[in-house]
Structure 1
Amino acid sequence: MVLQDLGRKINAAVADLTRSPNLDEKAFEGMVKDICHALIEADVNVKLVATLRKSIKSSVNFSNLAPGVNKKRLIQKAVFDELVKLVDPHNEPYKPKKGKSNVIMFVGLQGAGKTTTCTKLARWYAARGFKACLVCADTFRAGAFDQLKQNATKAKIPYYGSLTQTDPVTVAREGVDKFKKERFEIIIVDTSGRHRQEKDLFDEMVQIQEAVRPDQTIMVMDGSIGQQAEAQSRAFKETADFGAIIITKTDGAAAGGGAISAVAATHTPIVFIGTGEHLLDLERFAPKQFISKLLGMGDMQGLVEHVQSLKLDQKDTMKHIAEGVFTVRDLRDQLSNIMKMGPLSKMAGMIPGLGNMMGGMDDEEGSLKLKRMIYICDSMTEKELDSNGLLFTEQPSRMTRIARGSGTSVREVEDLLTQHKVMANMAKKMKGGMANMQKAQGAMQGRNNKQQMETAQKKLASMGQGMPGGMPDMASMMKMFGGGGGAGGAGGAGAGGFPGGGGMPDMASMMKMMGGMGGGMPGMGGMGGGRGRGKRG
């Protein structure tokens, strides 16, 4: 992904400076130059880059620095803050409300990915408890309704459209009226686009707006157009007066950085960015979180939201951890949950430090290694799955049987059991903390006063054990996978080095498990092997 390359280059420039023994003005100038080079390569407007350069330099004035000031920290903060300003439109988008009908209308040129993005957004809201639906008012493009119908069926989202009605205004009005009567909370209207900006397209947009009176109009824009995004968004703004933008195809667009910064210059909020073709490849855009993720500092808020939306069942595992227990079945359940979270590269980008550590790790390869570990667990008996792993030490022949049944090697089985042992030891250490978390959650649920509940949530957050909504704490899960260590420091380029990044969790164990970190997991080199089940014994 090109934006990841941009993040790595900026990160490398800052890291080189902070490691430099002579942190002087000349070294600082070199870092700023490298950052500006990287931004221009990502197609960010030259004038914006020049402004950024001036702002960073004015934020760190070497001649006026007081003695004892941490120069490294000051520089890192200046870079972070100025990059956030570069992509921040300083304008809040519309926030849909539960319990009422929120009509969202999509506009944009043909080929930008409107229809696919409509379904992605409907699914995103549905996963967060909204009653969402789709209306296809694109009667211009042949096959538009069929595409929306297929996407909506796959995402299990109700839809409305017509194969006979050619008037898009009539279809839009009828669809919105129907879903309003049925008390849908998110009604997304997909409109037609053209290959270029035409008077007919703009007239149609205005007519549909007047017919459905949307609460929010979103323009969908292809990220590959780069700096042209500013002119295009201004033209649509004058006609449709949209309130937000979704930028698509940022996964491979060399001009993605240009599109994001250009749109920010129009002071129109970007609400989401499309990061791929699948239904889950839609990420909420927030300037600070975007830059944090870009620089390898992660987006823990986004990760927590993602985990909550998946509604993963971790009750048994969390109950076991609270008791200081972690069975082989618990390990298998957590591996399955990781598989459900989506591409490993996407998840890694949300975890502080892990995105950089993964480097160019292939999603398919990492996913296959996880699957092989699940095959090993699937070849175990019920007794083995619910054990603490000691019976494998006492009866090594069990490992040979499991390896044959899962189409893997004895070495792979040993490595899985070693990983389980590490995590079981961590569960023992976490026993007290989990008990405190449950007490705090109980206190929250037993109080009606909103202020008291907020105080209890803050206490949970400060413990590093809690999370809004009473969901299992992702931080605990990450500690479990990573050994619980904290590796961040002010001088590093990872999460600890940047403001707001916190201490970077030690992800070495997790990376070994997934096959990263210098050659992968021992014994996992062969990608062959079936998934047969071993003899139950």
Structure 2
Amino acid sequence: MLFSSLAEKLQNTLRKLKGKGKLTESDVNEALREIRLALLEADVNFKVVKDFLARVKERAVGQEVQQSLTPGQQVVKIVYEELTALMGGGETKIKWTGHPPTVIMLVGLQGAGKTTTAAKVAYYCQKQGRRPLLVAADVYRPAAIRQLQVLGEQLKLPVFSSEQEKSPVRIVRLALEEASRLGHDPVIVDTAGRLHINEEMMAELGAMKEAARPHEILLVLDAMTGQDAVRVAEAFHRQLGLTGVILTKLDGDTRGGAALSVRAVTGCPIKFIGVGERPDALEAFHPDRIASRILGMGDVLTIIEKAQAAIDRDEALEFQRKLRQQDFTLEDFLRQLKQVQKVGPLDELLGLLPGTGPWKHLKGLQVDPKEIVHIEAIIQSMTPEERRNPGIINASRRRRIAAGSGTTVQEVNRLLRQFDEARRLMQHLGDLAGGKKGKVKVKFPPG
């Protein structure tokens, strides 16, 4: 889970306020001290922490219990809203020009993952119906051009490069001519990594900016470097005038210091986050959803978006019906395992659910393609009645199914246990989606 260390500490702190009839200044101060420590340990900028806590305290001290809310829930609501505001308030999208092509220039330190991120951004734009062109303008790092070409081939994305041309400025000009001629939009420029204190290299970026006149200058930052990332962002912003930030390796960042600090310190919005190595492991940054994840309220909207991208609409409607009616069979279980492979790792999806405490023991669960073959063999060895009602599968039936599928009774037992867990999870999802007229009821959890 993103920011798992910070999330656990904040949730534990806010949970202690449960059951209080009124929020006194002493209650709030005690909670704020713990929140302060949690944020500082997460490597959040000290000034950001100070200002954040001042805003929370101003809103929380002395507030009476509101209708249908306990004081603990009220504090969670305040912290949620202030966390959301701290990270920018809402999604900041790419600024598309009315006169294509839109030019997006990626900059940053060496090793931040610019080349991989450039391919991910292009893939993201392609999924939005655009015709991106990647530009290999890193002429200094050995094999940088080849790396981008390989990524382009894998993702079926066009890459502009020039083995003869050694000037990044000239490469950008030629790429823009090519994009205009062939109708590509956007043009995504992968630049060489450089230190912000290297005046010569930074001057070269300035020249590239002048030549390309980019609509977006996005700084690629390694989220795991914490406050160092924020300092780098400040320096690049002063010299180039950044329009946004892309945080990479956020899936490995249990603290969250960069994500919580960079907007407040630099004023630059976070536009995308990298959450894995897959080409589609780049997400638009939604401050409200991240705040919701941190406070244990889940991120149902992201689950829905992932499912919409991977699952057929008719299948989704049928699955929705089964959720409502709690009609989940072993055949559905197999079908959903195959769909999960398209949507993403199961542990990541579980981490997006609100109130997933009962499923914590499933953390790290992956869907192995070989295991799915075994599961399919076991299920196909059952009778239709057994698939619909696995409760009738006794010891003798298990031995028959194991023999028919070429597996062991232990494997059959394990599958049935996994199915039972999945069915309980589906019932949990059905409850979440069981609001009036099919709408999801969003509640702040008890303190």
The reply to whether TM is greater than 0.5 is: yes
Unaligned 5+ segments in structure 2 are none
For the residue of structure 1 that corresponds to 2:103, the secondary structure is strand
Assess if the C-alpha contact under 8 Å between 1:224 and 1:253 holds in 2. yes
Q: Using the alignment, how far apart are the partners of 2:162 and 2:409 within structure 1?
A: 51
Assess if the C-alpha contact under 8 Å between 1:93 and 1:269 holds in 2. no
Q: Using the alignment, how far apart are the partners of 1:57 and 1:223 within structure 2?
A: 28
Assess if the C-alpha contact under 8 Å between 1:72 and 1:490 holds in 2. no
The aligned counterpart of 1:279 is 279
Against the structure 1 CA distance between its residues 196 and 384, is the aligned structure 2 distance closer, same or farther, given a 3 Å change threshold? farther
Assess if the C-alpha contact under 8 Å between 2:13 and 2:31 holds in 1. yes
Against the structure 1 CA distance between its residues 180 and 54, is the aligned structure 2 distance closer, same or farther, given a 3 Å change threshold? same
Assess if the C-alpha contact under 8 Å between 2:196 and 2:235 holds in 1. no
Which amino acid counterpart does residue 199 of structure 2 have in structure 1? K
Q: Using the alignment, how far apart are the partners of 1:178 and 1:269 within structure 2?
A: 30
Trace 1:86-485 onto structure 2 (pairs within 5 A). 86-88=86-88, 92-96=92-96, 100-253=100-253, 256-258=256-258, 260-310=260-310, 312-313=311-312, 315-316=314-315, 318-319=317-318, 328-354=330-356, 357-359=358-360, 361-363=362-364, 366-368=365-367, 372=371, 375-381=374-380, 389=388, 393=392, 396=397, 398-402=400-404, 404-405=406-407, 409-415=411-417, 463-464=437-438
Aligned-pair distance for 1:389? 2.6
Aligned-pair distance for 1:198? 1.6
For the residue of structure 1 that corresponds to 2:406, the secondary structure is helix
Assess if the C-alpha contact under 8 Å between 1:91 and 1:268 holds in 2. no
Q: Using the alignment, how far apart are the partners of 2:299 and 2:106 within structure 1?
A: 27
The aligned counterpart of 1:26 is 26
Q: Using the alignment, how far apart are the partners of 1:42 and 1:193 within structure 2?
A: 27
Which amino acid counterpart does residue 410 of structure 1 have in structure 2? V
Aligned-pair distance for 1:7? 1.0
Assess if the C-alpha contact under 8 Å between 1:110 and 1:193 holds in 2. yes
Unaligned 5+ segments in structure 1 are 435-460, 466-474, 476-485, 494-537
Which amino acid counterpart does residue 463 of structure 1 have in structure 2? K
Assess if the C-alpha contact under 8 Å between 1:134 and 1:189 holds in 2. yes
Q: Using the alignment, how far apart are the partners of 1:403 and 1:368 within structure 2?
A: 20
Assess if the C-alpha contact under 8 Å between 1:172 and 1:208 holds in 2. yes
Deviations 1:321-342 (A, max 9, x none): 7597765433211111112222
The aligned counterpart of 1:77 is 77
Assess if the C-alpha contact under 8 Å between 2:272 and 2:285 holds in 1. yes
Which amino acid counterpart does residue 283 of structure 1 have in structure 2? E
Q: Using the alignment, how far apart are the partners of 1:74 and 1:426 within structure 2?
A: 25
Q: Percent identity?
A: 27
The TM-score normalised by the length of structure 1 is 0.70
Deviations 1:488-514 (A, max 9, x none): 865625xxxxxxxxxxxxxxxxxxxxx
Assess if the C-alpha contact under 8 Å between 2:108 and 2:219 holds in 1. yes
Deviations 1:349-385 (A, max 9, x none): 322223x55547552xx11579646622244449957
Aligned-pair distance for 1:415? 3.5
Against the structure 1 CA distance between its residues 330 and 94, is the aligned structure 2 distance closer, same or farther, given a 3 Å change threshold? same
Pair 1:492 & 2:442 matched: no
Against the structure 1 CA distance between its residues 369 and 181, is the aligned structure 2 distance closer, same or farther, given a 3 Å change threshold? closer
Against the structure 1 CA distance between its residues 59 and 222, is the aligned structure 2 distance closer, same or farther, given a 3 Å change threshold? same
Aligned-pair distance for 1:47? 1.9
For the residue of structure 2 that corresponds to 1:166, the secondary structure is coil
Against the structure 1 CA distance between its residues 425 and 208, is the aligned structure 2 distance closer, same or farther, given a 3 Å change threshold? closer
Assess if the C-alpha contact under 8 Å between 1:303 and 1:347 holds in 2. yes
Q: Using the alignment, how far apart are the partners of 1:57 and 1:264 within structure 2?
A: 18
Assess if the C-alpha contact under 8 Å between 2:345 and 2:367 holds in 1. no
For the residue of structure 2 that corresponds to 1:337, the secondary structure is helix
Q: Using the alignment, how far apart are the partners of 1:392 and 1:99 within structure 2?
A: 63
Assess if the C-alpha contact under 8 Å between 2:2 and 2:251 holds in 1. yes
Against the structure 1 CA distance between its residues 308 and 321, is the aligned structure 2 distance closer, same or farther, given a 3 Å change threshold? closer
For the residue of structure 1 that corresponds to 2:162, the secondary structure is coil
Higher relative CO (Cα under 8 Å, sequence separation at least 6) belongs to 2
Which amino acid counterpart does residue 464 of structure 1 have in structure 2? G
Assess if the C-alpha contact under 8 Å between 2:272 and 2:284 holds in 1. yes
Q: Using the alignment, how far apart are the partners of 1:46 and 1:117 within structure 2?
A: 29
Q: Using the alignment, how far apart are the partners of 1:67 and 1:300 within structure 2?
A: 26
Deviations 1:233-285 (A, max 9, x none): 23222332221111222333466414541343221111012233333332221
Q: Using the alignment, how far apart are the partners of 2:47 and 2:269 within structure 1?
A: 20
Assess if the C-alpha contact under 8 Å between 2:300 and 2:352 holds in 1. yes
Assess if the C-alpha contact under 8 Å between 2:382 and 2:401 holds in 1. no
